[in-house]
Structure 1
Amino acid sequence: MEADRDAALHAVSAAVLAVTRHLSVHEVFQVIVRAAAQLLDARYAALGVPDDEGSFAEFVVEGVSDEEWNRIGPLPRQHGLLAVMLREDKVQRLADVRRAPAFEGWPTAHPVLRDFIGVPIRDGDDTLGIIFLANKRQPGGFTDDDEERLILFAAHAAIALTNARLYERNRELTVIEERARLARELHDAVAQKLFSLRLTAAAALAAADPRSELERVQTLAKEALVELREVIFELRPAELAGDGLAESLRKHVQVLDRVWGAGRGRRTAVRFEGEELTLPPATEAVVFRIAQEALYNALRHGDPCTVTVRLEPGLLEIRDDGVGFDPAEASRDGLGLASMRERAESVGGVLTISSSSSGTVVRLEVPA
């Protein structure tokens, strides 16, 4: 029995560490709390991360439904037993938490807690948070073995939380760097062109025969538009570095599914099918951008009821049931098809587009 419990502890801890790279900090909290409750066979578990204002920046619970949580009310403050646990670097194990000197009660809708065990989650001298469990399902309350397991589990949780925070911070820095790069690219590649456009337009207003100057304005405007599109499409989406191609596409599709067609009388269903796969960063960026362009074209011009994005090794497919179009005509109308093909060729891919009155299929084949 003891060997099974110890094996379960290490398996759960390993799972927490394994998922850290793929989940947000809040999601890692949820995994930790759920795993701790399973490990000690407790009905309730919670993890709180203090803020600098006397409350908690995060407070995640297990064993309480969303409805119950809403009835309980605002997040707890750093008072009572929670304050003691944050202030003192020691385990709190109680046969009945209601009899503890620091106990100060709880809201009316709060579940009744009896036997209790809590451990601070520490990183060196810093207290990252506290994890506590209550109401062990087996009679007799929490034991010395439970305390030992929870202390070891808290040490693993500290590593997981630290890694998750570093991971999210790195993602935030990536977004900031991407924005800075975008600003530089826009300034260098487009701002000068727009300045020339402004001067030429001013010259056209002052000219006796402005036709040649207006033609120059038109040319500059087209060049500025082309350069702007190139800048935007060359920037690798920041979310790809953090979430990966499949998850980035899934999130993009979910947003479109929620918002497209709102206020238009008929909503378009946008769906994603596929699992994560590994591609070179340049290829991921091309696949993502072509998917964006194809989705935009389908939703804006095809008037479909359903659009499905399918991703599998070596293949991206965007299929819609819209009105279709003539690809030859569309290339001249500015739907970005030539740019999509050029992007596909830049990574050794092949883009094919078939369309009829019953819908359109965009297929991108890339080296898997």
Structure 2
Amino acid sequence: MVTGDPAPSGERSGRRMDGEHRSGAAPCGAEPGATLHAVSSAVLAVTRHLSVHEVLQVIVRAAAQLLDARYAALGVPDDQGSFAEFVVEGVSQEEWEAIGPLPRQHGMLAAMLRDKEPKRLADIRREAEFEGWPSAHPVLKDFLGVPIRDGDDVLGILFLANRRRPGGFTEADEELLTLFAAHAAIAMTNARLYERNRELTVVAERNRLARELHDAVAQKLFSLRLTAQAAAALAERDPARCVRELAQVERLAADALAELRAVIFELRPADLADGLAASLRKHVEVLDRAYDADVRFTMDGGAVALPEEHEAVVFRIAQEALYNALRHASARTIEVRLRTEDGAVVLEVADDGVGFDPGAASAKNGGEPHGGLGLASMRDRALSIGGALAIDAAPGTGTVVRLEVPL
């Protein structure tokens, strides 16, 4: 849905291909309860999603259903007074490609970007701001546009056109869309915060891996170099001691290789194509072959069914817990257990290692338990998918990391 001249740049997404009518709209003159139910359904559809792209798509679709509009669009402003992204509903892929690039700073959409006020028109073609549209563009008549606001900031502008029932959009429709836009603003803000938090988590993870490389691998390589130099100096005057130093070189090289292999293994992207349980089983089997510890995987009950994004978080938490057990706990046995229990997916990573005091270690290390085990990061990951993380640990008794994620 474009109501201005096309431009050579910008991002377009979220086309709905069929344009067919979908149920869920509140008919004109409906009972207040039916209208509230329609608004509630539309809002819930939006707030289920976390990524900004998904939220934009669902907002457009829900708005079109809510007011029974044939066409809908959502434009996200950029810093140049145009659109950074433009999502549409009711236009097929072929029609969208034939229409061409996004609108420039002209036409009715540009007028709304400038004025940032609702517009309700009986026939958009009769307005002074109307400047035509490309030949492949669908013919629009009745029009309703509402800004999506976060305080004084305009997050986007929601456009509807061609209401399916005769008579066009009413004042009540404008009020209803304005109410929906207020909730859509909350969903967009939450999605942006979620994506920003995910970006920060990635940065924190990179920083942690950099510290691991420096603290573990770099120090061992430095020790290895010094030991090799000492062995070279002793080769002629003390061959027996030289042999001992060379044995130490071999041990340090093996340790450095194991540390580097662990870090590289962590950097590998999670392959969850076979599902969470199968991926965890494969991961545990690899670790069992790579380390001296006995690493096992058990699963109780039926298949675990979580959204793909949630499964990725559970997998990362399992990786982190396994990493801690292998690197810091001196564990002989590590068991990964996965099951469903009381409407939740439960993951446990239990080891028989040295354990630690979570409370004392957290206070000593400024909130980062046990010298940088990443427990705070694991808890943040769990919270991001509505889960809860618990640590059962004490010096000399091993550690159990327990994650619960509601189904």
| TM-score, normalised via structure 2 length | 0.59
In structure 1, the partner of 2:31 is 2
Check conservation: 2:82, 2:113, Cα contact below 8 A: no
Amino acid in the other structure paired with 1:348: A
Q: Distance in 2 between matches of 1:66 and 1:202?
A: 68
Unaligned runs of 5+ in 1: 238-247, 255-270, 275-286, 299-309, 317-337, 351-365
Check conservation: 1:349, 1:367, Cα contact below 8 A: no
Check conservation: 1:122, 1:128, Cα contact below 8 A: yes
Q: Distance in 2 between matches of 1:167 and 1:189?
A: 32
Name whichever structure is richer in helix by fraction: 1
Equivalent of 1:221 in 230, 238, 253: 253
Structure 1's 315 and 2: CA in aligned 2 closer, same or farther, altered over 3 A? closer
In structure 2, the partner of 1:171 is 198
Q: Distance in 1 between matches of 2:147 and 2:283?
A: 45
In structure 2, the partner of 1:16 is 46
Structure 1's 225 and 288: CA in aligned 2 closer, same or farther, altered over 3 A? farther
Alignment partner of 2:209: what SS? helix
What does the per-residue CA deviation read over 1:93-144, in whole Å, with 9 as the maximum and x for residues that have no partner? 1122122211222223222222111001111111111000111111221112
Q: Distance in 2 between matches of 1:98 and 1:85?
A: 15
What does the per-residue CA deviation read over 1:64-115, in whole Å, with 9 as the maximum and x for residues that have no partner? 1223222222222333211221222321111221222112222232222221
Unaligned runs of 5+ in 2: 1-29, 290-297, 305-329, 338-347, 353-401
Give the % identical residues. Answer: 62
Alignment partner of 1:347: what SS? strand
Q: Distance in 1 between matches of 2:161 and 2:231?
A: 79
In structure 1, the partner of 2:133 is 106
Which has the larger displacement, 31-40 or 68-77? 68-77
| Residue 272 of structure 1 pairs with residue 301 of structure 2 | no
| Residue 29 of structure 1 pairs with residue 56 of structure 2 | yes
Check conservation: 1:273, 1:311, Cα contact below 8 A: no
Alignment partner of 2:166: what SS? coil
Check conservation: 2:60, 2:89, Cα contact below 8 A: yes
Equivalent of 2:272 in 249, 253, 257: 253
Shift of 1:343: 5.5
What does the per-residue CA deviation read over 1:205-259, in whole Å, with 9 as the maximum and x for residues that have no partner? 66457765554333212111223345567x7x9xxxxxxxxxx96xx334xxxxx
| Residue 41 of structure 1 pairs with residue 53 of structure 2 | no
Check conservation: 1:25, 1:168, Cα contact below 8 A: yes
In structure 1, the partner of 2:115 is 88
Shift of 1:180: 1.1
In structure 1, the partner of 2:391 is none
In structure 2, the partner of 1:78 is 105
Amino acid in the other structure paired with 2:200: L
Amino acid in the other structure paired with 2:259: E
Structure 1's 199 and 44: CA in aligned 2 closer, same or farther, altered over 3 A? same
In structure 2, the partner of 1:348 is 350
Q: Distance in 2 between matches of 1:138 and 1:121?
A: 25
What does the per-residue CA deviation read over 1:150-184, in whole Å, with 9 as the maximum and x for residues that have no partner? 11111111111111111111111111111112111
Alignment partner of 2:104: what SS? coil
Shift of 1:290: 5.6
Q: Distance in 1 between matches of 2:220 and 2:132?
A: 67
Amino acid in the other structure paired with 1:253: L
